[in-house]
A and B are shown apart, each in its own frame.
Chain A
Amino acid sequence: MSKKIFYLMIAALMVVLSACTTTSSPSGEGTTSSTGTEDNNVLTVSLGPDMLTWDIHNHTTTATEAIHVNVFDYLLMRDTDGEIQPHLAKEWKQIDDTTYEFKLTEGVKFHNGDDLTAEDVKFTLERVATDETLKSHGDFDTIKEVKVIDPLTFQIITHEPDPMLISRISRQASGILPKKYIEEKGMDEFLKSPIGSGPYKFKEWKKDSQITLVKNDDYFGKKGEWAEVLFRAIPEDSTRVAELLTDNVNIIANVPPSDWKRINDSDNSEIANGPSNRTYMLFLRTQEGWPTSDVKVRQAIDYAIDDKALVESLLDGGGTPTLTRVNPGNVGFEESLYDTYNYDVDKAKKLLEEAGYKDGLKIELAGPTGRYIKDREVMQLIAGMLEEAGIHTEMNLLQWSSFTELRDQEKFKEGYLIALGSSFFDAGQALDYYGTERSATINGYSNKEIDKLLQEANTSLDPAVRTAKYQEIQKIASVETPIVPLFQVDQFFGVSDGIQYTPRLDELIYIPDVNKK
């Protein structure tokens, strides 16, 4: 009898299971992972979480921009080496201190067939320059207006001389929007089915799942090799790695260091790393009352930390020790401060002694966890190194939103660790942090000489003059160390064997540059 019951249950189980499998399959046609590499004309990429929006002006994340850049064209665009090249704008010249004139490439069309004209440029740039609620507004508010000369010629007029204008329009949020389409359909409709002029066209966005782009066969520039590109949202690191190892995804971003070996040892993929424009650094307080207000204490901290050891032991060599946060490929780069570092524990001890801390010093450093590669471990190692030099360090490790608040409200103690990028690729943005005005809300550093040099560099339109001034600022800052640059960090991608991909300095994934081997 009991056997009968058992069989009955098995039968019931089968029935329910089969019912379950038919009801639980989603209604969508379902293309996701399985098609990833079966069809070698489809490229599947995962950058981590889903993109935020199709509004190019209302986000500030590289992962979102990395998708946008394939659908919308910039006026000027950096190549893989970070050099600015003509793109939508084929030539440009400066008319006066506040005016630049640009000529558009002929024959560029939006994905719906409309011509891309100067009117579209005016619409796009004036939108972000005037609407304060847009998150990219702050990067474009130097623009006063865009004057249309003829359908292919326009002038950008700035409020004041803006030496960074060219960098400004060749970076994040610089895509050109279709004026006519947006005015006819409305912004909401545009965000649901966006069109641009880029190498790929929007096809579908399944939120928190995947975005599908298809090749634009009429593209005016270099066309992509892939007929279709899928950007999949896979926020969990280990899952992303598993998808790469099972050939469901071809390129994954932000591979955690613990998985590098596993990927390199696998027979289908490898790690591709290359420099990013992000630098790990310690911001130290310089206001009276803090021990770090004494330059010798700051220097002691600099000398106590072995930047090279941080890079070698934690990042497998995936970074470059540095004494400046202006990296190669940026306007104003100072070569003598790059790929070098200060490390001398005896000197650090001596500096401490001179500063009056012979018996040791106690400080507290804050730092984010889970935001940057190995951020927590970097902090722990730094604390150990400082201890060796006689600086006892309390660590205040916080989740990113708490850290942001601590930093924003200046509640940190002697200093904090952060890894900042510089999306303008211009020292003007990176060195602003040493100016009295900006520092007032950060670490209170003030140096009249730097302020003067900054002022001169930021208003000069001569690149040679600017470069010279910025280089001088970096030399002063590397001695004064209100900020201790540690190392420029690499970006780490996992890439399938059949694919040729070199990471770009700006961390974007421009599909026309991703090739089949």
Chain B
Amino acid sequence: MWRYFTSRLLQIPIVLLIISLMIFVLVYVAGDPVAMMLPAEATQKEIQTLRIALGFDQPFYIQFWNYITDLVRGDFGESYKYGVSAIGLVLERLPATLELATASMIMAIIIAVPLGIISALKPNGIIDLFATGLSALGKAIPNFWLGIMLILVFAVNLKMMPVSGTGSWKHIILPAITLGTAVSAEITRLVRSNMLEILQQDFIRTARSKGQKKSVIIFRHAFRNSLVPVITITILQMASLVGGSLITEMIFSWPGLGQLIIQAVYDKDLPIIQAAVFVTAVMILLLNLATDVLYRFLDPRIKYS
């Protein structure tokens, strides 16, 4: 067990290094960022002066070497556009993204778990059909559309919610629904199918025949046993929420990583892209590891070798 986790932990730096190298190559191939940094009116001389000043006239292998040596020292460099430490910019915005992802996940679970359980108790009943339809919709609706619609209905027309920004607890509700809908749909279906499967099993029948209370059967026996895959998916979805909140953050002017990353990609701002992908990758790797640990904790039958 410990050997397994140590080796998993040791893999992390290697994965991160490979990711970093891939990003450098991709951004390098995407072209020279200097022309993007200056206005469209800049002369070739101005572009060239800045190119030399920032070292973009150096051959690939020198730029690559500088990049690697800085990276190993943990230095992601300064953002081309903002002129300050890239990792600082990323870490500054990370809490907002985590906050939004957490709120979305909580909202998704609140909706999905009860809905999944009720659906499973009465398969093909009205609630089940409603839940199935809702989760199909939830998966299918693109979140940029959902976000704009929520703003139109709840902020512009009903004036119940703020349109965008941060500041009060109300500000997080619409973005959390936008981001959490797809995840919620996923979890609903998973809870439903797991519950259905478990409710058919012998030990449930035994419990029933023993005359146990229905609530005990559902929560203690069935739901607990269906939790393992649900938790796995939930944590994995959390990782996708952190990485996938870009569009939602843009729509709701949420000051997280999303706005920063999208703009950095447009501007070919390598240090920011690098730092942001690095931080996101670390989180995803750690969440994956956490899933494995929890898995074992919840189901002692699972063994790692």
Contact = CB atoms under 8 A, between A and B. Distances in A.
Interface of A: 1-2, 4-6, 8-9, 12-13, 16-17, 20-22, 24-26, 28, 30-34, 49-50, 52-53, 55, 58-61, 132-133, 135, 137-138, 191, 206-210, 232-236, 238-239, 242-243, 245-246, 248, 399-401, 404-405, 407-408, 418, 420-423, 429, 432, 438, 441
B288 interface: no
A208 B255 contact: yes
Contacts of B215: 1, 4-5, 8
Given A30-B167, A405-B32, A407-B35, 13 more contacts: A4-B215, A5-B218, A12-B114, A26-B96, A32-B165, A33-B164, A137-B50, A206-B166, A235-B253, A235-B259, A248-B163, A421-B39, A422-B41
A31 B167 contact: yes
B156 A246 contact: yes
Contact of A33 (B50, B118, B165, B250): B165
A438 B165 CA distance: 44
Nearest to A29: B167
A22 B172 CA distance: 11
A60 B102 contact: no
Contact of A438 (B31, B32, B43, B266): B43
B54 interface: yes
Interface in B77-110: 81-84, 89, 92-93, 96, 99, 102-103, 106-107, 110
Interface stretch (B147-155, B184-192, B224-232): B147-155
B35 A404 contact: yes
B165 A208 contact: no
A24 B165 contact: no
Give the interface centre of B117, B148, B168 by most chain A CB atoms within 10 Å: B168
Contacts of A423: 39, 41
B40 A209 contact: no
A50 B92 CA distance: 15
Contacts of A32: 162, 165-168, 171
Given A133-B53, A208-B255, A404-B35, A24 B99 contact: yes
Contacts of B37: 60, 135
A208 B106 contact: no
Interface residues of B, number: 72
B156 A138 contact: no
Contact of A52 (B82, B93, B155): B82
Contacts of B250: 235-236
Contact of B40 (A1, A13, A236, A404): A404
B93 A33 contact: no
B58 interface: no
Interface of B: 30-32, 35-47, 49-50, 52-54, 81-84, 89, 92-93, 96, 99, 102-103, 106-107, 110, 114, 117-118, 121, 148, 151-152, 155-156, 159, 162-169, 171-172, 176, 213-215, 218, 250-253, 255-256, 259-260, 263, 266-268
A61 B165 CA distance: 23
Nearest to A60: B39
Contacts of A53: 82-84
A13 B83 contact: no
Contacts of B31: 401, 405
18 contacts: A1-B215, A5-B214, A25-B168, A25-B169, A26-B167, A30-B167, A32-B165, A53-B84, A55-B83, A135-B38, A138-B38, A208-B93, A233-B255, A248-B162, A404-B36, A408-B35, A420-B40, A421-B41
A25 B172 contact: yes
Contacts of B171: 32
Contacts, number: 189
A132 B49 contact: yes
Contacts of B84: 53, 191
A234 B255 contact: no
Contacts of B121: 2
Contacts of B92: 207
Nearest to A400: B266
A242 B152 contact: yes
B41 A16 contact: no
Nearest to A372: B40
A151 B226 CA distance: 79
Contacts of B213: 1
Contacts of A405: 31-32, 35
Between B40, B84, B148, the greatest number of chain A beta carbons within 10 A of the residue's beta carbon is seen for B40
Contacts of A132: 49-50, 52-53
Given A138-B42, A208-B260, A26 B99 contact: yes
A33 B163 contact: yes
Given A28-B167, A60-B37, A408-B35, A234 B214 contact: no
A28 B166 contact: yes
Given A13-B110, A238-B148, A246 B163 contact: yes
Contact of A60 (B38, B83, B172): B38
A242 B163 contact: yes
A236 B36 CA distance: 21
Nearest to B258: A208
A133 B39 contact: no
B163 A420 contact: no
A209 B163 CA distance: 13
A24 B176 CA distance: 10
A422 B107 CA distance: 50
A438 B43 CA distance: 7
A405 B29 CA distance: 12
A401 B40 CA distance: 11
B103 A138 contact: no
A432 B45 CA distance: 13
